[in-house]
Amino acid sequence: MRASLKLVDPAIDAYDVADDVAPVAARERSLLRFITCGSVDDGKSTLLGRLLYETGAVFEDQMEALDRDSARFGTTGDDRDFALLVDGLAAEREQGITIDVAYRYFATDRRAFIAADTPGHEQYTRNMATGASTADVAIILVDARKGLLPQTRRHSYIVSMLGVRRVIVAVNKIDLVDYDEQVFRKIERDYRVLAASLGFVETHVIPVSARFGDNVATPSERTPWRTGPSLLALLESIEAAPAGDCEFRFPVQRVNRPDLDFRGFSGTIASGAVAVGDTVVALPRSRTTRIARILGPSGDQGRAGAGEAVTLTLADEIDLSRGDVLVHAESLTKPRRQFQARLLALGETPVTPGRAYLVKIGTAVTAARIIALHHTVDVHDYRTIPAAALEMNGIGLATLRLETDVVAADYAACQPLGGILLIDPHSNDTVALGVVEADAASRADRPRAGDGIVVALARFGLVSRDTTFDELRRRAIDAAANAGLTGLIASAATRDAELALAATCADFVLRPLLDAALGHLRSWIAMRRQNRREAGLSLDGGGI
């Protein structure tokens, strides 16, 4: 029998191909991560199902299953219920709601998309926040019949808190208000008022019908009063600017030491870029060395930027382990023991000041306590309220005190080192996520602006080192008076003292500072050039 079934090629060779067969699109297509959020029953899952359908990401057998499911669980009468394409858990399908974040994938020729479909119910806000944390863009749905709801405000606040700066408001079910422009315009106006304080750099408002596809993939003739691209076209073209500043930060993820000849530090660059030969400092212990090699996914490379997973080798044998962070030698980043963070409570047990927690920042985990809970935020009107603890889904501003020094960055500057997890050390549950914020408490760890000015002036021999800030302030006021800047005197005397001081001192503080800084920069650039040349030589010579 076996002989008659000569099925397998005796020589089983791995299939080899030339590396030029992938379509150009796959090589150059960029990636956009977005989230759909909004209130219950405003059609988030339906909209996402529609986008999948319109981009050909739903297959025939899935469509047949959808039609079967629509008949059984559907909420759209005889029509296909596109929401059932994405609501995957049994409990969700039975209840007709979304409980957990679902990730969905589709692509056009221009972009690949990862969509997070998030729950609308308030009790699942934490799942919505998880989806928002990685999003470049948020699509906030509003039911055209209902206008803005508490969840609209809540979700807008959370996407803003998590650093999303580009928002598309999809005014859905526009078919159910007879494609009425007035209804749409009112919601558009209301939303712009709501979002005024949220720091979005782009806010697009689009009328859509997820159920019938109006303005989803193509502009609809039923909204002739609106011009502009469809939702899909907007998603294809919207800028997905990488968040953060350009300072190089590299949290060490793992020491790679396969044998005695190699010792590298693996990790993903959190922000900025690095080149072979750069002088770097390992924090928190502040050891200085140079980058010897950068190993990327395809071998040695001369430089690497944010988001790249690399292994670095260093010129010197310095003590460095998981949780440490490499920065450029001239970086102002300093290890911190304390910072403020905006927290979102995720667990059933309230997050409470004084309790022992673990904090995960980048690759570092350290013991921490909340030493102050400044307030919680009422996400319906963005008011702050005093509170003793943060209940599940609650958002509040807290000061955390850590047991060891860690490198944390402000979230706006560097998400991977500014987004933190708060973990219960006993249950191991993740009880909160947080974003590190620049504020008074974290500034307390650094020199105050006033102290800096004294130091700078002393350095240039303009004042003595023991000059107090108040003395300096008096001198600044005198200088301002001499210059006839009475307005500045008034503000220097009030709470804007530091600002006024800086302004009045411009001539004899900032100019020498600027000159010194420029000189420093020139010598630094020259040094880097030199380093690069040396690194280039050693690379050639080393035959890497």
Partner 1 sequence: MGRLTHLQALEAESIFILREVVATCERPVLLYSIGKDSAVLLHLALKAFAPGKPPFPLLHVDTGWKFREMIAFRDETAKRYGLDLIVHINQEGVAGGVNPITSGSAVHTDVMKTQGLKQALDAYGFDAAFGGARRDEEKSRAKERIFSLRTPDHRWDPKAQRPEPWRAFNTRKRRGESFRVFPLSNWTEADVWDYIALENIPVVPLYFAKRRPVVERNGALIMRDDARLPLLPGEVPQLKMVRFRTLGCYPLTGAVESSAATLPEVIAEMRASRVSERQGRIIDHDGSNSMELKKQEGYF
Enumerate residues 149-168 that contact partner 1 by CB under 8 A. Answer: 162
Is the dihedral angle over the CA atoms 521, 523, 524, 525 positive or is it negative?
A: positive
Smallest distance, Å, CB 357 to partner 1?
12
In eight-state DSSP terms, residue 218 is B
Window 397 to 456, contacts with partner 1 (CB under 8 A): 415-416, 419-421, 423, 428-430, 433
**45, 152, 311, 376: residue in contact with partner 1 (rule CB under 8 A):** 311
Window 37 to 96, contacts with partner 1 (CB under 8 A): 59-62, 65, 68-69, 85-91, 93
Rounded to 10 degrees, the C-alpha dihedral 313/318/322/326 comes to -70
**281, 306, 408, 414: residue in contact with partner 1 (rule CB under 8 A):** 306
Residue-by-residue DSSP string for 88-121: -SHHHHHHTS--S-EEEEEE-SSEEEEEEE---S
- Binding of partner 1 by 495 (CB under 8 A): no
Among residues 15 and 484, whose Cβ is nearest to partner 1?
15
- Binding of partner 1 by 221 (CB under 8 A): no
* Contact present, 379 and 157 (Cβ < 8 Å): yes
Query: Which of the stretches 153-161, 305-313, 368-376, 439-447 binds partner 1 when contact is defined by CB under 8 A?
Result: 305-313
Instruction: Draw the binding track, 226-255, toward partner 1 (x: CB under 8 A; -: no contact).
Output: --------------xxx----------xx-
Which CA distances in Å does 83 have to 44, 131, 173, 213?
8, 18, 14, 13
Residues 235 and 206: their CA atoms lie apart, in Å, by 12
Among residues 70 and 399, whose Cβ is nearest to partner 1?
70
Query: Which of the stretches 18-26, 220-228, 370-378, 387-395 binds partner 1 when contact is defined by CB under 8 A?
Result: 18-26
In eight-state DSSP terms, residue 145 is T
Rounded to 10°, the helix 486-493/497-504 angle is: 140
* Contact present, 422 and 431 (Cβ < 8 Å): yes
Is the dihedral angle over the CA atoms 324, 361, 272, 298 positive or is it negative?
A: positive
Query: Which of the stretches 25-33, 145-153, 182-190, 275-283 binds partner 1 when contact is defined by CB under 8 A?
Result: 25-33
Among residues 17 and 201, whose Cβ is nearest to partner 1?
17
Window 368 to 397, contacts with partner 1 (CB under 8 A): none
Instruction: Draw the binding track, 341-370, toward partner 1 (x: CB under 8 A; -: no contact).
Output: -----x-----------x-x--x-------
What tokens appear for 384 in the block?
């702050």
Residue 216 neighbours by CB under 8 Å, 6+ apart: 47, 50, 51, 54, 208, 209, 210, 230, 231, 232
Q: Total residues contacting partner 1 (rule CB under 8 A)?
A: 94
Instruction: Draw the binding track, 265-284, toward partner 1 (x: CB under 8 A; -: no contact).
Output: -xxx----------------
Among residues 134 and 491, whose Cβ is nearest to partner 1?
134
